[in-house]
Structure 1
Amino acid sequence: MPHQAVISRLERIRSKQPWLVLSAAEKFYIAGSNNPAISHFYSFKAGDNVEESFAIPDGCVDMLFDCDATCPTAGVFGTPMSAIDIELKRQHQYFGVRFASGVIPDCLKVSAEELIEHHFDFVDVVPHANQLFEAIISEKSFASQVASFQQFFEGKANRVMSPLTRYVVANIFEQQGNVRIDAMAQETGYTTRTIQRQFRADMGMSPKAFGRIIRCQSAVYHINHHDQVVFSDMAFDLGFSDQSHFLREFKKLVKATPMAYQNRVKQQTYYDRIQHF
């Protein structure tokens, strides 16, 4: 069982990318942010088993820097809608910025819909970011990289959501992704069509798709932070029609069955790799 203090710190991070942690050769460093738009910063050196690295749906925008001395790169990644392979390079040092789920920084020159399941070259979609790129890849410490990014991002805004979309997002989070659009239509007085249209304009995806992502993350979070998990109960709590539906959905979005995933993350080495600043 992981140390309780580690669990306490990790509970503040609800956007999980567990396969990224398991891809680290040694430690996976995490730092929080005073800016609520940023979920956290992270840094790691990729191990030799990178062919088993996957990104799972989390509703987040990530900025990932490959700080290789000879051929550094940086990309902006939108959320995948199912588990996808990550192209990491063995023994390369990475620095990442994960924005909070549902947050799109306004400094990006791409639409919300264009971000979904796509990635872009960092300097192509973030104006005036060449100096930041050079600073990140040349900094020798994780703390310095975090400070450089926070200085660059200070004063920058996020895309403004409509009040209707903010309401829907809040409900999806509150219900762990288990929401019905027709129920929200009754609560708000808007038609389901209006809700769906406005949500897609703001978020780049449908409310159902975002709810599916949050259900996935809720399941991952629960498995990560509980020693005993009854999968049939979890399926019911998250609104799945039956356990087999939950098992199929989890495997598609996480690239493993719930039992296989639990066995991986419950290994002591998983929590040993996470170092919180």
Structure 2
Amino acid sequence: MEYYYQIPSHSPLHGTLQNCWQVERQELTEGHETIIPKGTVELIFNLNDWAPLTAQINAQRFPIPSCMLSGFNSLPIQMQLPQRHTMFGMVLSPTVAMSLFRVEASDFVNQCLDLTLVHPHVRNLWEQLMVQPSFAGRVALGQQWLLSRLPQVTPQEQFLNQYLNTPATSGLTVPALADQLCFSPRHLTRKLQTLTGMNAEQTLLYQKYRYSVELMHTTELSLTAIAHACQFTDQAHFSRTFRTFSHLSPREYRQHKSHIPSHLFAQAAG
């Protein structure tokens, strides 16, 4: 069972918290999940007290902690799912996550950062979420927790959050994006490196890749049309970029995609 709550525009958390989600599953057999790079910063709470969850990035395998921060990963995550598991997530704007936890992308991109080890208040929130039986109750707890720690966001940070939260804005060039922020291209790269772990050119390419994933889920466009809509140089450039991040071709992803963008599921063998 899956739950989703979009933060309304009138909320004081609008622009800070994008949405909350929960996955609660009880299956007959164990399964596998592949999460290709999503380009969102998520505070993810592992609410399992009955079976461990494990994940793998490249050859590195690790247990999923009580709470982890996941960001602009550039590699797929492979997860082994027990028959029963529950996870709750909060999708944050990138500059907000950096302010809340005093981290840079290099601290959590393509790795597993256990926030409960460095932020006791996050462990307290995890404990409250564990004993709260409903999704609505967990959403309320998460919002209350954020409201008490709401960081100040500058107009430039608001613009960056909007840009990074909206892959359809991928058409901007580095100079155009720098001009809108009143940054030099070098300062823009430093800022994006802090937020995404990538330089400005890499971030813009990543946004094009993210937009292509969105279009594969929301339209019936051909892959050629998607490459054009996302402003890739040509079909080969699109395929090469998509495979770099997802380790799949666009055609393979479209054939195996699930109803959840960037998530692919398979039943465990045997």
Normalised by the shorter chain, which TM-score bucket? 0.7 to 0.9
Aligned to 1:217: 210
Question: SS where residue 97 of structure 2 aligns?
Answer: coil
Q: What's the CA shift for 1:113?
A: 3.1
Contact 2:173 2:204 (8 Å CA) reproduced: no
Task: Normalising by structure 1, report the TM-score.
Answer: 0.72
Partner of 1:39: 18
- Give the alignment's Cα RMSD to 1 decimal: 3.1
**1:158 Cα shift?**
4.1
Instruction: State the Cα distance separating 1:190 from its structure 2 match.
Output: 4.9
Q: 2:43 is matched by which residue type in structure 1?
A: M
Residue 235 (structure 1) shift: 0.9
Whether 2:146 is the aligned partner of 1:178: answer: no
**Paired residue for 2:245?**
253
- Partner of residue 132 from structure 2, selected from 118, 136, 139: 139
What is the rounded CA distance, in whole Å, between the counterparts of 1:130 and 1:187 in structure 2?
39
Give the 5 Å matches for 1:160-239. Answer: 160=153, 163=156, 167=159, 173=166, 176-184=169-177, 190-201=183-194, 203-226=196-219, 228-239=220-231
Give the direction of change, closer, same or farther, for the CA distance of 1:29–1:255 in structure 2 (3 Å limit). farther
- Conserved? CA contact 1:60–1:103, under 8 Å: no
The aligned amino acid for 2:144 is Q
1:97 counterpart residue number: 90
User: Cα–Cα, structure 1 residues 241 and 136, in superposed 2: closer, same or farther, change >3 Å?
Assistant: same
Is 1:50–2:31 an aligned residue pair? yes
Give the secondary structure class of the aligned counterpart of 1:86.
strand
Q: Deviations over 1:156-186 (max 9, x none)?
A: 23475683x6556656747632332244456
Match of 2:4 in 1: 30
1 or 2, which has the higher strand percentage?
2
Going from structure 1 to structure 2, the CA distance change for 1:79 and 1:125 (only over 3 Å counts) comes to farther
TM-score norm. by structure 2 comes to 0.73
The offset of 1:71, in angstroms, is 6.3
Unaligned runs of 5+ in 1: 1-26, 272-277
Q: Give the fraction of aligned pairs with identical amino acids, expressed as a percent.
A: 20
State the match for 1:18 in structure 2: none
Q: Deviations over 1:181-219 (max 9, x none)?
A: 244456777542233234334554322232233222211
Of residues 72, 80, 83, the one that matches 2:73 is 80
Q: What amino acid is aligned across from residue 91 of structure 1 in structure 2?
A: R
Q: Which runs of 5+ in 2 are unaligned?
A: 53-65, 261-270
Q: Distance in 1 between matches of 2:147 and 2:160?
A: 28
Q: Could you tell which deviates more after superposition, 200-209 or 32-41?
A: 200-209
